[in-house]
Amino acid sequence: MPSTFSVPAKIPVLRHGRGAQPTVRRKVVLYNPRSVFFTMPLGVLSVASNLDSARYEPVIVDGRLEADPVAAVLRQLDGALCLGVSVLTGAPIRDAIAVSRAAKTHFPDLPVVWGGWHPSLFPTECLEEPSVDITVQAQGEETFAEILDRLTQGRSLEGCLGCSYRNASGCVRQNAPRPLRDVNAFPAHDFDLLPVERYYALKGKRQLDFISSQGCNFRCAFCADPQVYGRQWVGLEPVRLAGEIDRLWQRYHFDDLNFQDETFFTRSARVESIADELLRRRLPITWAATMRADQGERLADSVWRKCKESGLRRVLIGVESGSQDMLDRIRKDIRLEQVHYCARQCLRHDIAIIFPFIVGFPGETDTSVWQSLDLAKQLRTLSSKFETPIFYFRPYPGSAITAEAVANGYRLPRGLEEWADFDYVDSRGPWVSQEKYRLVERFKFYSELAFKSAPRWQWPLQAFARIRCRRDWYTVPIEKGVMQTLAPPTRLS
């Protein structure tokens, strides 16, 4: 059954005198669904910050901060212009559906707009859910602002770039994409819209999340970014970026800045300028960011040094595989020697690294999996500050490998309910045998225990774990069973 909402909606039009500004600010409620992470909701914050404050009053509700998210949203919806929901593939979909359906039940004419990764990949499929009226694809700041303007004026969404919608007759329409806009054209994020101190408390540290760029230039076949952003990248200009960080520090007094960019180190000259600006301002902070191994190799040693001096404490470098053949197949476009180079540089400059790996690609050989485990072990032994999390490949919608898998008979989830059960950490594809799964899970446990900084009571177990890793002996995992019974691993999505 289609939603009771149709475009144009039954939204009161704001009355203007000739050349006058609207006299009423309309509330716009933005919801960030529940998940197990406490990263600040930068997507909804960016969209909210771009709205004209003279015309709109954005209110952000984060389901992770609420005992009853549905009730928290409903309290804000009376008189609202619309409800916007940021939706990631996986478990957050279930929460997004619950909130959207409750909103429609209590406010049948209220437009519900979904944005984020899942609606970007499934723009019209999401509209099969009756409680969703509009979806936004890719960069949402300008698209969402135009949607609001059209709603206030009672105009159709026909021709509104970057969105899909259900029209007045109930037919689903998908508009052309909106070109990627330079992020320097957008205003600074208004963190006063968030309860910043609550995120500090939940994280257990005064860490502010920040995004300084959008998109990615690269073509990795396991990633949906090339489809969503068309291999484009836009970043904040260094002087502006550093100025914003300075003002945010004066306001929120954070100790650490966590850049959430897809690829922060995309432009080495920009990175050097950012480091120079941070050094000039002498902010008493550390920072962390994402880096590709090829970007790290191209970074001059003097820039590595400046980054460290400006507070760089950790980089995240996606290795994905210890097999060069597999790296070439998944179009990662890096070489293993570049990974080792970055490891040496980070050791030299005392910078921590997270090296994520992916195993279980369709058709991946046992040899390839062992090469990944061996490289992960090599990197972990270099420093207790090096981490090597291992994930299983799941056919993420929009990626080239997924298209290949589907062509070969793999069935993707169908409908939002099935996508809500899609999990990236604990699930594996049909290409991973039970035997291989047990091997990888045991390796993950013992390599983590063997090389982490551990409390004194774990030292005997840690010594035994190192022996296991040295000999690749992962059978009869008694310690693993005991420790995971005492502290079950968190299910992530």
Peptide bond into 8 cis (omega under 30): yes
How far apart are the C-alpha atoms of 422 and 395, rounded to whole Å?
A: 10
Q: Is there a shared CATH topology between the 26-174 domain and the 183-486 domain? A: no
pLDDT of residue 476: 86
The C-alpha torsion from 388 through 392 and 394 to 400, rounded to 10°, is 60
Q: Is the pTM of this model over 0.85?
A: yes
Report the sign of the C-alpha dihedral through residues 62, 66, 70, 76, in that order.
Answer: negative
**Angle of helix 459-471 relative to helix 478-486, nearest 10 degrees?**
140
E strands, 138-179, are 163-166, 172-174
Give one DSSP letter per residue of 291-347, joined into a string. Answer: --HHHHHHS-HHHHHHHHHTTEEEEE---B-S-HHHHHHTT----HHHHHHHHHHHH
How far apart are the C-alpha atoms of 312 and 316, rounded to whole Å?
A: 12
Residue with tokens 């291992």: 390
The C-alpha torsion from 113 through 114 and 116 to 121, rounded to 10°, is -120
Contact 111, 156 (CB under 8 A): no
pLDDT of residue 457: 85
pLDDT of residue 36: 84
Cα–Cα distances in angstroms (integers) from residue 116 to residues 89, 410, 438, 453, 484, in the given order:
9, 25, 34, 37, 34
Backbone angles phi, psi at 139, to 5 degrees: -60, 120
3-state secondary structure of 279: helix
Pull the structure tokens for residue 451.
């090389």
* Backbone region of residue 154 per phi and psi (left: phi > 0; alpha: psi in -120 to 50; beta: other values): left
Backbone angles phi, psi at 216, to 5 degrees: -160, 135
CB count within 10 Å of CB 297 equals 16
CB hemisphere CA count around 208 (13 angstroms) = 25
E strands, 386-451, are 386-387, 390-392
Record: fold of 26-174? Rossmann fold (3.40.50)
Give the burial class of 144: count Cβ atoms within 10 A of its Cβ; 0-12 exposed, 13-18 middle, 19 or more buried: buried
From first to last of the 493 residues of the chain, give the pLDDT tens digit.
344 454 444 434 444 344 545 458 999 999 999 988 899 999 999 999 999 999 999 999 999 999 999 999 999 999 999 999 999 999 999 999 999 999 999 999 999 999 999 999 999 999 999 999 999 999 999 999 999 999 999 999 999 999 999 998 999 999 999 999 999 999 999 999 999 999 999 999 999 999 999 999 999 999 988 989 999 999 999 999 999 999 999 999 999 999 999 999 999 999 999 999 999 999 999 999 999 999 999 999 999 999 999 999 999 999 999 999 999 999 999 999 999 999 999 999 999 999 999 999 999 999 999 999 999 999 999 998 999 999 999 887 788 999 999 999 999 999 999 999 887 555 688 889 999 999 999 999 999 999 988 888 888 889 999 999 999 999 988 888 777 776 666 554 4
Of 32, 33, 35, residue with least CA distance to 492: 35
Of 136, 141, 104, residue with least CA distance to 118: 136
Give the chain's largest Cα–Cα span.
81
Domain ranges of the chain: 26-174, 183-486
CATH of domain 183-486: 3.80.30.20
